[in-house]
Amino acid sequence: MTPVIGVTATLKEDGEAPAPGEVSRPLGEYIRADLDYVEGVFDAGGAPIVLPPIGGARNVESLVGAMDGLLLSGGSDLDPKYYGEAGIPEMGATIPERDEFEMALVGAALRRGIPIFGICRGLQVLNVALGGTLYQDISAQLGDDALSHRQTALKFQPAHEVEVRSGSWVGEAMGETGVKVNSYHHQAVKELAPGLVVSASSPDGVIEAVESRDFSDQWLFGVQWHAEAMRTVGVEHRNLFAALVSAAENHAVRRAAA
């Protein structure tokens, strides 16, 4: 049975201004999910569906009821109000509709025991939904002790190493314990949520992957790097998508039997 896997998307506004002298045209608004996420799920054997970030909590129960797995994609900063903080000046832009939708979505997915894989912002959303907090800006809050986690190199090129904890679920899924990863984040996990454990970190101590302690029941994991952009250059990154689809297959069997 092919598992249905929801992929979160972002809201984009087409800010292209009319040319001089041209009659103004309406700005287009659209949703966007990078094809790398969607193809990552598809290539691993899942049936991806893109989830529009609208309506807050209104439809999340129906959506998760039709899903066997959830991929939380990367994107803008999560509003720090979700972990009880006010924003600091170094915080980036937020998209309130997306935040509201995803926090409700993750809550519904957790209640239904749907496996979740979070990438970059997705890891951060997962951590906050489970009660953790974030560094709003690594440079401002960790300073010189931190590596540069915002690379300018191409997305599939690695920026720093991570040490994956041996014996961790993520390590088993990847089949590697020392990997080089790309890095496009300026935020990171500060306090780990109850129930999550660290499965990888970078040499400066920044948390780069997390997983659920109770993965036999519900399988939750996230990586801070953009595995979707590295899956074509490293089988260990592809394996993370395979792990999500495999967990979702188990959920699909249970959903069919229910």
Backbone dihedral region of 84: left (phi > 0), alpha (psi from -120 to 50 degrees) or beta?
Answer: left
Catalytic residue among 102, 176, 208, 228: 228
**Active-site annotation holds for 149:** no
For the four alpha carbons of 81, 49, 228 and 199, in that order, the dihedral sign comes to positive
Three-state DSSP at 197 gives strand
Q: Does 183 bind Mn ion (CB under 5 A)?
A: yes
Q: How far is the CB of 169 from Mn ion (least distance, A)?
A: 20
For Mn ion, which residue has the nearest CB?
183
Q: For Mn ion, which residue of 98, 121, 149, 231 counts as binding (CB under 5 A)?
A: 149
| Among 9-17, 32-40, 66-74, 141-149, the segment contacting Mn ion (CB under 5 A) | 141-149
Is residue 69 within 8 Å of residue 1, measured between CB atoms?
no
Q: How far is the CB of 5 from Mn ion (least distance, A)?
A: 25
User: N- to C-terminal Cα distance for the chain?
Assistant: 15
Nearest-10 crossing angle of helices 35-43, 235-257: 70
Picking from 1, 14, 3, 129, the residue whose alpha carbon sits closest to that of residue 60 is 129
Of the pair 169, 184, the CB lying nearest Mn ion is at 184
In order of 187, 237, 243, the CA distances from 184 in angstroms are 9, 16, 23
Q: Does 8 bind Mn ion (CB under 5 A)?
A: no
**Active-site annotation holds for 120:** yes
Of the pair 3, 132, the CB lying nearest Mn ion is at 132
Cα(123)–Cα(127) distance, integer angstroms: 6
Number of residues that bind Mn ion (CB under 5 A): 2
Q: How far is the CB of 103 from Mn ion (least distance, A)?
A: 23
Of the pair 114, 207, the CB lying nearest Mn ion is at 207
In order of 107, 118, 127, 244, the CA distances from 110 in angstroms are 5, 13, 12, 15
**Active-site annotation holds for 228:** yes
Of the pair 237, 255, the CB lying nearest Mn ion is at 237
Q: How far is the CB of 187 from Mn ion (least distance, A)?
A: 10
Cα(132)–Cα(136) distance, integer angstroms: 13
Of the pair 149, 231, the CB lying nearest Mn ion is at 149
| Among 59-67, 71-79, 120-128, 148-156, the segment contacting Mn ion (CB under 5 A) | 148-156
Which residues have a catalytic role annotated?
120, 226, 228
Binding site for Mn ion (CB under 5 A): 149, 183
